[in-house]
Amino acid sequence: MEQKSIGIIMNGVTGRMGYRQHLVRSILAIRDQGGVELSDGSRVQVDPVLVGRSAAKLQEIADQHGVQRWTTDLDEALANTGDTIYFDAQLTTVREDSILRAIAAGKNIYTEKPIAVSVEGSLRLARAAAQAGVKNGVVHDKLYLPGLLKLKRLIDSGFFGRILSVRGEFGYWVFEGDWQQAQRPSWNYRAQDGGGITTDMFCHWNYVLENLFGQVEAVTAKTVTHIPERWDEHGKPYPATADDAAYGIFELAGGIIAQLNSSWTVRVHRDELVEFQVDGTEGSAVAGLHQCVAQHRTATPKPVWNPDLVETEPFRDQWLPVPDNGEFANGFKAQWEQFIRFVENDGEHPYDFLAGARGVRLAEAGLASSAQGRRIELKALKP
Ligand SMILES: NC(=O)c1ccc[n+]([C@@H]2O[C@H](COP(=O)([O-])OP(=O)(O)OC[C@H]3O[C@@H](n4cnc5c(N)ncnc54)[C@H](O)[C@@H]3O)[C@@H](O)[C@H]2O)c1
């Protein structure tokens, strides 16, 4: 039987996310395993074409990984009718224009978040994709993390009873770049280049909250630029114009309150770089990227406030690990496989441009809430 193959135009593969998570850990891993298996047992092999601005970098990546095709000309890549998926992991500010060109060329689109720099731009993409009848998907990688998959298992089992609240802590110290090089690109700290932790993380928080707990109905946020000056990739100082911390309260459908701190200016005293504590009437859980522990109401201790005594309860030891009960694939790869099956009419992929637009809307609302010092209600978003 002839092996089916799908051509994927990958734009932005020289970047941090495009290279490591999407090219190496996803598409090349899928290629090396012999493609994506469909429900009828057949397989679809992936055939990437790398797109970017630097011929030298593309050539180097292609040579290193045995990829045959690359180009610095996006229109040339889009003209090839054999390549039916366009993927975008470029800088956010240039994404909308490239995706619109790919939609006009009839490609199915898969993209990193935020899908555009504004809600208006995001809805433009949703409308264009709907009119052209192309399939579209947005990276929702956090949903595929082992820790959150185990948390979802607890939710689906009814373990929590009525969920009351979610508290999340995301962050780590990103070096300023003067005496130690920063571990994130400098554009992240410039608003004019699409940077800012609210824009970055609220897109994630929107899909995590709406898929695990309920739609976000209102947000109250305080966004801050704690470190006003940073040093870029060339060691040059620059003013940080974007927020590096966001403190948010999210009101969810069903009355659940989520409180999430996002920060590039905290030092980690946690087990993982992101952790969510979920408290319900019947039980609680703490989930990170990989781990998830739970405590049922029947195993809940009864602490008594007494500041005169040194605490003797080993609180952390009183939680039970939720077992893996299976193997978890890389989350980016798992979602790529789901999207490719969807393009092949073999299964669903519900995380579309409208979901991406809701993420951008939450980021915009968070920034507006902070700027105006008020709570912002979110209305249903229509294309
Ligand atoms: N899903 C996630 O967890 C996650 C994490 C980090 C970043 N992202 C998103 O991925 C995207 C890329 O982020 P990154 O951290 O890889 O950044 P990066 O700076 O490492 O990479 C940016 C890419 O865009 C290209 N680029 C830069 N300026 C450009 C321009 N003017 N025109 C065309 N291309 C340009 C670069 O060559 C590079 O390939 C962003 O939209 C970001 O929001 C997602």
DSSP of 341-374: HHHTTSS-----HHHHHHHHHHHHHHHHHHHHTS
Distances (CA, A) of 379 to 5, 139, 157: 42, 23, 30
Q: What is the pLDDT of residue 382?
A: 85
* Positions of E strands within the chain: 4-11, 36-37, 43-51, 69-71, 83-88, 108-111, 136-138, 163-171, 216-224, 229-231, 237-239, 245-252, 257-263, 274-280, 283-287, 292-296, 320-321, 376-377
- Pick from 196, 128, 188, 165: nearest CA to 276: 165
112 lines ligand 1 (CB under 6 A): yes
CA pair distance 77, 96, nearest whole angstrom: 17
Helix (H, G, I), strand (E, B) or coil at 124: helix
CA pair distance 325, 305, nearest whole angstrom: 38
Which atom of ligand 1 is nearest to 11's Cα?
A: 39
Q: 133 C-alpha vs ligand 1 centroid, how far in Å?
A: 27
Instruction: Specify whether the CB–CB gap between 291 and 271 falls below 8 A.
Output: yes
Q: What is the pLDDT of residue 379?
A: 87
Q: Which of 9, 112, 336 is the best mutation target for the ligand 1 pocket, counting ligand atoms within 8 Å of the beta carbon and taking the most?
A: 112
Q: What is the pLDDT of residue 1?
A: 56
139 lines ligand 1 (CB under 6 A): yes
Q: Which protein residue has the closest C-alpha to ligand 1 atom 29?
A: 91
Instruction: Specify whether the CB–CB gap between 122 and 46 falls below 8 A.
Output: no
Q: Which protein residue has the closest C-alpha to ligand 1 atom 11?
A: 89
Angle among Cα 77, 3, 62 to the nearest 5 degrees reads 40
Q: Which of 9, 13, 17, 72 is the best mutation target for the ligand 1 pocket, counting ligand atoms within 8 Å of the beta carbon and taking the most?
A: 17
As averages over each run of 10 residues, the pLDDT of the chain (383 residues) reads 88 97 98 97 97 98 98 98 98 97 98 98 98 98 98 98 98 97 98 97 98 98 98 98 98 98 98 98 98 98 94 95 96 98 98 98 98 96 86
The DSSP secondary-structure symbol of 289 reads S
Q: Which contiguous run of DSSP H or E holds residue 338?
A: helix 331-343
Which tokens hold the place of 69? 């095709």
Cis amide linkage into residue 114, ω under 30° from 0: yes
Q: What is the pLDDT of residue 30?
A: 98
CA pair distance 144, 230, nearest whole angstrom: 33
94 lines ligand 1 (CB under 6 A): yes
CA pair distance 13, 278, nearest whole angstrom: 36
CA pair distance 282, 305, nearest whole angstrom: 22
Dihedral angle computed from the Cα positions of residues 292, 293, 297 and 298, in that order, rounded to the nearest 10 degrees:
140
- Give the β-pairing of 292-296 and 136-138: unpaired
- Give the β-pairing of 274-280 and 163-171: antiparallel
Q: 120 C-alpha vs ligand 1 centroid, how far in Å?
A: 21
Q: What is the pLDDT of residue 2?
A: 63
Q: Which protein residue has the closest C-alpha to ligand 1 atom 3?
A: 141
Which tokens hold the place of 22? 């999407």
12 lines ligand 1 (CB under 6 A): yes
Which tokens hold the place of 276? 């969510």
91 lines ligand 1 (CB under 6 A): yes
Instruction: Specify whether the CB–CB gap between 135 and 84 falls below 8 A.
Output: no
Q: What is the pLDDT of residue 54?
A: 97
53 lines ligand 1 (CB under 6 A): yes
89 lines ligand 1 (CB under 6 A): yes
Q: 159 C-alpha vs ligand 1 centroid, how far in Å?
A: 39
Angle among Cα 98, 102, 106 to the nearest 5 degrees reads 165
